């Protein structure tokens, strides 16, 4: 059976951990080497292997992530990469800025994204137009309707995009009135093994479509941005609630942990896209203990999950 896996390249939310300008207890703690705190880069995963991969989201930290992941590095030709194509969940800065770092490619970069994301990346933040002056992009349309597709070069991996509610980037004309396709989650299926992983780093609401995909998956990697909705307000860091920027908090009656507790015990449950303010980053915190007690894992950079 084809060996396939998912590698967490970056487990933190936008800003990373520590964030460059943040002096909160956790960011200061990780800088000072406080036990129980581990640095994390910004939101990205790779799926496939052993030599050919789909990069899912292109993080601002992509060069560091490639340095840390030998399977993505050039090995077969003078100019080469394990990255066969890039898939986007949305057009946010933390998921797209790394596209610039791939500009040295000899051929155009195969890219999969929905229409609203393509519009944002050619208008509000025209990254794809700029890349046209370098390697260029060969854009493939992602339909947010659950239809299956494959990325050439990564055989045996079936991919489906599901519509979900989160938020498009601030430069999107529909920031405050989402359209279908602004944000998607992906189901990755190893055709040979039948194993499935559901990935949604930004998820404000668990609707029936998302819930069905979560229940059908062997592992779920879902929004781990905030522990509580007013986390950044309490810390005096921002006036925004998590829900206002498209993230369902973990704690509370209808929080992510409550949802995850309703999944089968056999489902591997993991939080990803973790903001530097989230106390679950501290291995010694009661919030992390609550995750562990609930059978929920906190993703870290380099974590690998068999598919
Ligand atoms: C988000 O996930 O809400 C955004 O990526 C925030 C950001 O721009 O860093
Ligand atoms: Mn983000
Ligand atoms: Zn911080």
Question: Residue 45 forms beta bridges with which residues?
Answer: 8, 56
At 128-151, the pLDDT tens digits run 999 999 999 999 999 999 999 999
By CB atoms closer than 10 A (0-12, 13-18, 19+), residue 175 is middle
Q: How far is the CA of 243 from the centre of ligand 1 (A)?
A: 12
- The closest-lying atom of ligand 1 relative to the alpha carbon of residue 93 is 8
C-beta of 14 in contact with ligand 1 (< 6 A): yes
Pairing of strands 219-223, 196-200: parallel
- The closest-lying atom of ligand 1 relative to the alpha carbon of residue 92 is 5
Q: Which two tokens stand for residue 35?
A: 């036990």
Q: Specify the CATH number for the domain of residue 224.
A: 3.60.15.10
Q: Probe ligand 1: pick from 13, 17, 182, 224, max atoms within 8 Å of CB?
A: 13
At 72-82, the pLDDT tens digits run 999 999 999 99
Q: Probe ligand 1: pick from 20, 91, 92, max atoms within 8 Å of CB?
A: 92
Q: Which two tokens stand for residue 51?
A: 């030599």
Q: What angle do CA 195, 246, 65 make, to 5 degrees?
A: 55
At 156-165, the pLDDT tens digits run 999 999 999 9
**Number of structural domains the chain divides into:** 1
Q: How far is the CA of 45 from the centre of ligand 2 (A)?
A: 13
Mean pLDDT (the chain, rounded): 97
**59-76: burial string, b at 16+ Cβ within 10 Å, e else:** bbbbebbbebbebbeeee
| Rg (alpha carbons) of the chain, rounded to whole number | 18
Whose C-alpha lies nearest to ligand 1, atom 1? 14
Range of the domain at 204: 5-306
Q: How far apart are CA 32 and CA 168, in angstroms?
A: 34
């Amino acid at each position: 059976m084809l060996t396939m896996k998912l590698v967490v390249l970056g487990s933190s939310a936008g800003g990373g951990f520590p964030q460059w300008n943040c002096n909160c207890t956790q960011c200061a703690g990780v800088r000072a080497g406080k036990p129980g705190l581990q640095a994390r880069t910004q939101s990205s995963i790779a799926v496939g292997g052993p030599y050919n991969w789909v990069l899912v989201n292109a993080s601002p930290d992509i060069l560091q992530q490639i340095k840390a992941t030998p399977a993505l590095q050039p090995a077969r030709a003078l100019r080469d990469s394990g990255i066969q194509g890039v898939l986007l969940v949305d057009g946010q800065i933390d998921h797209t800025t790394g596209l610039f770092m791939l500009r040295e490619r000899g051929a155009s970069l195969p890219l999969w994204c929905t229409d609203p994301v393509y519009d944002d990346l050619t208008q509000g933040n025209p990254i794809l137009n700029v890349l046209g002056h370098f390697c260029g992009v060969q854009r493939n349309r992602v339909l947010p309707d659950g239809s299956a597709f494959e990325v050439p070069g990564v055989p045996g991996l079936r991919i489906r995009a599901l519509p979900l509610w989160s938020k498009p980037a601030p430069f999107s004309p529909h920031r405050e009135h989402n359209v279908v396709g602004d944000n998607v989650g992906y189901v990755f299926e190893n055709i040979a093994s039948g194993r499935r992983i559901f990935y949604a780093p930004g998820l404000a609401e668990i609707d029936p479509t998302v819930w069905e995909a979560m229940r059908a998956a062997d592992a779920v990697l879902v929004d781990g941005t905030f522990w509580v909705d007013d986390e950044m307000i309490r810390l005096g860091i921002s006036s925004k609630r998590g829900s206002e920027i498209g993230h369902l908090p973990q704690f509370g009656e209808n929080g992510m942990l409550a949802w995850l507790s309703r999944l089968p015990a056999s489902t591997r449950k993991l939080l990803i896209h973790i903001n530097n303010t989230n106390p679950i980053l501290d291995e010694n915190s009661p919030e992390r203990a609550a995750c562990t007690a609930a059978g929920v894992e906190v993703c870290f950079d380099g974590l690998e999950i068999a598919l």
